Amino acid sequence: MDGNGRWAKARGLARTEGHAAGEEALMDVIEGVLELGIKWFTVYAFSTENWRRPVDEVRFLMNFNVGILNRNRDYLNKRGVRIRFAGRRDWRVPRHLAKTMDEAVDMTKSNRTMTLTICFNYGGRAEIIDAVKALVESGMPAEKINERAITSHMYYPEMPDPDLVIRTSGEYRISNFLLWELAYSELVFTDVLWPDFRRDNLYAAVREFQGRDRRFGGLDQ
């Protein structure tokens, strides 16, 4: 959900106003995901590198995440959305946020219409490191290690690899997002800044995806 800061700057607003405007974008896109019948939707809310931002912005984002969850969890629950978080739960995650995250997960855990995975304090490399640690701790012999073994130690082994990744705000990078899982994902880049992104932009990205020729390393049949 990139471009919040630039969206705010262009309007002479504080960066945090851009994040606040991102909430409406997120809820509209979730509506679009539900309309399309997409079962798995994952957003990148805070990376393992985002702690490097100014203390005030980090503090704002932590409180903002509590607010977003409190404002929207009942509605998402009613719509059949299962909320989950992917990332590290380390000492820097404030206790009140961790509690709010757990409550949202618990409230929505039986829902199956759509799974909303919020990557929070998430890094693709961190996830791979955590999987390798878990593999070593399991005592698996080296000759048994294959793709399936690694996948089974990722944060959500049953989550299908993403078909489509949308990067907003005119940046052409992966930025440590789902590095293992997006090996064969289709990438769509758009100049639209996240606070301006709406379900129509999602539909346009899906149409672009539908025009792609996916070969997964093979040849066309």
Active site residues: 2, 50
Q: Which stretch binds ligand FPP (CB under 6 A): 19-27, 129-137, 142-150, 154-162?
A: 19-27
Determine, following the binding rule CB under 6 A, whether residue 123 of this chain makes contact with ligand FPP.
Answer: no
The DSSP string of 145-183 is --HHHHHTTSSSTTSPPPSEEEE-TT----TTSSTTTTT
Write down the residue that tokens 């346009």 correspond to. 204
Determine, following the binding rule CB under 6 A, whether residue 126 of this chain makes contact with ligand FPP.
Answer: no
Q: Which stretch binds ligand FPP (CB under 6 A): 30-38, 65-73, 122-130, 147-155?
A: 65-73
Residues 101-120 that bind ligand FPP (CB under 6 A): 118
| Other beta carbons within 10 Å of 156 | 16
- Cβ nearer to ligand FPP, comparing 108 with 153: 108
Cβ 35 to ligand FPP shortest distance, Å: 19
Determine, following the binding rule CB under 6 A, whether residue 79 of this chain makes contact with ligand FPP.
Answer: no
16-to-45, 63, 211 alpha-carbon distances in Å: 14, 11, 37
| Other beta carbons within 10 Å of 143 | 6
Question: Helices (DSSP H) in 85-138: which residue ranges?
Answer: 95-108, 124-138
- Cβ nearer to ligand FPP, comparing 117 with 154: 117
Burial class (CB in 10 A: 0-12, 13-18, 19+), 78: exposed
Question: SS3 helix, strand, coil % of the chain, rounded to 5?
Answer: 50, 15, 35
Which x/- pattern, by CB under 6 A, does the window 167-196 give for ligand FPP? --x---------------------------
Write down the residue that tokens 């932009």 correspond to. 201
Among 42, 65, 115, 121, binds ligand FPP (CB under 6 A): 65
Interacting residues with ligand FPP (CB under 6 A): 1-6, 19, 22, 26, 43, 45-46, 50, 65, 68-69, 118, 169
